[in-house]
């Protein structure tokens, strides 16, 4: 059983270590911490706003979602 967990730890650490190094290098630069904090705050506000819109006006929410999808699809096929 111990060998299983050691083997699992080796596999997971080989996958997570590069990601963790990127996060550490990102946070070690002071000016990126401000960008990360602002981005996290904006994501939380947008998600909370989407849930509020979904609760109050579900048809309008899905209409906005479909329109946004159409805009992204048009951009992808005609601009990119």
pLDDT for 80:
62
Q: DSSP labels for the chain?
A: -HHHHHHHHHHHHHHHHHHHHHHHHHHHSHHHHHHHHHHHHHHHHHHHHHHHHHHH-HHHHHHHHHHHHHHHHHIIIII-
Query: Residues in the chain with pLDDT < 70?
Result: 80
Domain boundaries along the sequence of the chain: 2-79
The token pair at 73 is 């699809």
pLDDT for 3:
83
């Amino acid at each position: 059983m111990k060998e299983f967990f050691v083997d699992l730890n080796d596999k997971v650490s080989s996958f997570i270590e590069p990601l963790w190094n990127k996060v550490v290098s990102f946070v070690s630069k002071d000016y990126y911490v401000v960008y990360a904090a602002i981005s996290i705050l904006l994501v939380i506000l947008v998600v909370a706003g989407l849930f509020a819109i979904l609760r109050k006006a579900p048809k309008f929410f899905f209409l906005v979602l479909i329109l946004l999808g159409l805009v992204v699809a048009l951009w992808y096929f005609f601009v990119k």
